[in-house]
Amino acid sequence: MTIAPTAPGTDQAHDAAPPVHHAPRGFSDRFALGVTRLLRFGADTFFAKRYGHRAIVLETVAAVPGMVGATVTHLQCLRRMVDDDGWIRTLMEEAENERMHLMTFVAMARPTAFERLVILLAQWIFYVGFFLLYLVSKRTAHRLVGYFEEEAVLSYTLYLAEIDAGRSPNVAAPEIAKQYWELAADATLRDVVLVVRADEAHHRDVNHGLASQLDGQPPDSAHEAPYSQHVERRRPNA
C-alpha cells in the first residue's frame, strides 16, 4: 500500500492525526479521487461549517459501503465456494461502526426537514451507484471509500478546531457514545470527535489496503491506523 504523508500545513495540532493520502495510480484511482473531490465540493458548499449537521448527513452515507461490500462478497463466496479471508466481518463491522457515528451525532443535533430529504435521496442514489460500482470494480469501490475516509479525517480535524476555538460548544458526550466507546462519565463532544476520527482513519487504511490487495499488492495491515476501543453491539439477551 502506498500511503504517503500529505503536504505539511494540514492541521496536525489537534491531537496528532497525521494526514495521509494515497497517491493515485492509474485510471481506477483517479476516478475514485475525482468522484471524492466532487462530492467534497458539494458537501462544503451545502454545509459550510455546520459540522454537527454535516456529520449526521454524511454518516448516513458512510454506513452504506461496508454493508454493500459485505453483501456482494458474501454472495460471491457462496457462488464460488471460497473463503472470504475475514473480509465480510470486517466490512460489516465498518458499517456498524459508521451507524454508531450516526446514532451519536443525531443524539446531539436533529437534521432539518430538508436534510432528511437529502438523506433519503442520497441513500437511493448512493446505494444503487455504489452497488453497481462494486459489481463492476471492487477495487475502485474500496479505493473510493479510502478517499472518502481521508476526507472524513480532515473534516473531523476541522470540527476539532471549531470546538477548540469555542465556535462549536463542547457539550457533554451522549450516553450512547459513552457506552459504545467506553468513555469517561464526564466525556465531551471533543472526546467523541477524537474517537470517531480514529475510526475513520482506520477505515481509510483498511479500504485503501483492500484496494491495493485487489491491485495485486501484498497485504499490509501493519501500517493501518489503530481502531478505536469500542464494544460490540449485540441484542441484550443474545
Residues that bind Fe ion (CB under 5 A): 59, 62, 98, 101, 149, 152, 200, 203
- State the residue number with the nearest CB to Fe ion: 101
Shortest CB 75 distance to Fe ion, Å: 23
Q: Which is nearer to Fe ion, 44 or 78 (CB)?
A: 44
Shortest CB 81 distance to Fe ion, Å: 32
DSSP assignment of 117-145 = HHHHHHHHHHHHHHHHHHHH-HHHHHHHH
Q: Which is nearer to Fe ion, 29 or 199 (CB)?
A: 199
Which residue, 230, 170, 158, is CA-closest to 199? 230
Shortest CB 184 distance to Fe ion, Å: 22
Q: Which residues contact 75 (CB under 8 A, 6 or more apart)?
A: none
Shortest CB 80 distance to Fe ion, Å: 28
Q: Quick one: cell of 190?
A: 471533543
Q: Which is nearer to Fe ion, 152 or 192 (CB)?
A: 152
Tell me the H-state helices in 87-188.
87-106, 113-136, 138-164, 175-180
Q: Which is nearer to Fe ion, 76 or 190 (CB)?
A: 190
